[in-house]
């Protein structure tokens, strides 16, 4: 948190003047902090961000299986002669459910050493060498907090913009602390569950009827988080 605040102090000497989106995007430690340390735009995830405890990597917004079904008709370039889908040498017949999920990918120790440790520095290049570029590229290729492929989250760019603004503003203006007897690793241990929700979408004059959805959500075991925000000295 101190390194993040130091970067904010240098980039934003006037706490009342926030950098624009392009300026925030150029701050290396802020963006490394967010890559490693944001979950979703919720109070719980913001808590985890500021307390250095979670992340797009560690606790992403979509950690569960992202299932896809092999279609019955496939282009010849990706199918075998018998019609099966060729996935890296494995034949998958039409109708096969294929899935992966971010929870395990983001905890692959071969890609992310000490995977359970919050370490924004892992996203910063040490010397600019080809080996460092390959290391950062491999981590990026294994990151899928917003899903991946043609059904990747359409709001991920907006989410990143909002996260930069929120994290930068809080880090610049407040010191955040917690009473260890109330907010600790045990109370903030992540739980996941499937919930049924009703969604209504409105776009100009078009109203799409309400329809049921089942979503997976992450939440802390205590289902609450108590923090103290202390204004930083001018």
* Separation CA 92–CA 202 (nearest Å): 39
Read off the pLDDT of residues 136-180 as tens digits, 9 standing for 90 and up: 999 999 888 888 777 788 888 888 898 899 889 989 999 888 888
Lowest mean pLDDT among 17-31, 139-153, 188-202, 216-230: 188-202
pLDDT at 118: 83
Statement: residue 29 has pLDDT above 90:
yes
225 labelled binding-site residue:
no
- Residue 75: the pLDDT is 61
Using CA atoms of 145, 148, 154, 157 in order, give the dihedral in degrees to the nearest 10. Answer: 50
54: pLDDT strictly greater than 60: no
pLDDT in tens, 68-123: 888 876 665 555 556 678 777 888 888 888 888 888 888 899 999 998 888 889 99
Amino acid 93: pLDDT: 87
Q: What percent of the chain has pLDDT over 90?
A: 25
Quick one: pLDDT at residue 129?
92
Check if the beta carbon of residue 54 is closer than 8 Å to that of residue 39.
yes
Percent of the chain past pLDDT 70, that is, above it, reads 73
pLDDT at 43: 40
Which carries the bigger pLDDT value, residue 84 or residue 215? 84
HEC sequence for the chain:
CHHHHHHHHHHCCCCCCCCCHHHHHCCHHHHHHHHHHCCCCCHHHHHHHHCCCCCCCCCCCCCCCCCEECCCCCCHHHECCCCCEEECCEEECCCCEECCCHHHHCCCCCCCCCCCCCCHHHHCCCCCCHHHHHHHHHHHHCCCECECHHHCCCCHHHHHHHHHHHHHHHHHHEEEECCCCCCCCCCCCEEEEEEEEEEEEEECCEEEEEEEEEEEEEEECCCCCCCEEEECCC
Backbone Cα Rg of the chain: 21
- Domain harbouring 19, CATH code: 1.10.630.10
pLDDT of residue 86: 79
- Determine the pLDDT at residue 74: 63
Question: Across residues 12-39, what is the average pLDDT?
Answer: 88
**Count of CB atoms situated within 10 Å of the CB of 124:** 13
End-to-end CA distance of the chain: 18
* pLDDT above 90 (res 5): yes
Instruction: Write down the pTM of the prediction.
Output: 0.75
pLDDT of amino acid 32:
92
How many other C-beta atoms are found inside a 10 Å radius of the C-beta of residue 149? 8
The model's confidence at residue 45, banded by pLDDT at 50, 70 and 90, is very low
Please state, in angstroms and as integers, the Cα–Cα distance from residue 223 to each residue in 119, 185, 210, following that order: 25, 13, 28
What pLDDT score was predicted for residue 44? 41
**Total number of domains constituting the chain:** 1
Work out the burial of residue 1: count CB atoms within 10 Å of its CB; fewer than 13 is exposed, 13-18 middle, 19 or more buried: middle
In which domain, by residue range, is 81 found? 1-231
How far is 57 from 109, CA to CA, in rounded Å? 12
């Amino acid at each position: 948190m101190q390194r993040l605040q130091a970067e904010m102090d240098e980039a934003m000497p006037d706490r009342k003047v926030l950098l624009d989106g392009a300026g925030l995007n150029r701050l290396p430690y802020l963006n490394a902090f967010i890559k490693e340390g944001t979950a979703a735009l919720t109070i719980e995830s913001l808590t985890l961000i500021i307390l250095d405890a979670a992340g797009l990597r560690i606790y992403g917004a979509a950690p569960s299986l992202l299932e896809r079904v092999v279609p019955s008709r496939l282009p010849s370039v990706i199918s075998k002669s018998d019609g099966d889908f060729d996935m890296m040498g494995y034949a998958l017949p039409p109708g096969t459910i294929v899935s992966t999920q971010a929870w395990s990918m983001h905890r692959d120790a071969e890609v992310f050493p000490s995977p359970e440790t919050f370490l924004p520095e892992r996203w910063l290049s040490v010397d600019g060498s080809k080996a460092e570029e390959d290391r950062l590229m491999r981590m990026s290729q294994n990151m899928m907090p917003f899903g991946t492929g043609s059904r990747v989250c359409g709001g991920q760019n907006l989410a990143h913009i909002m996260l930069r603004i929120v994290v930068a503003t809080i880090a610049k203006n407040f010191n955040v602390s917690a009473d260890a007897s109330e907010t600790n690793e045990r109370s903030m241990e992540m739980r996941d569950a499937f919930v049924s929700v009703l969604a209504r979408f409105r776009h100009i004059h078009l109203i799409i009827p309400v329809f049921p959805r089942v979503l997976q959500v992450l939440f802390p075991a205590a289902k609450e988080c108590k923090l103290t925000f202390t204004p930083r000295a001018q």
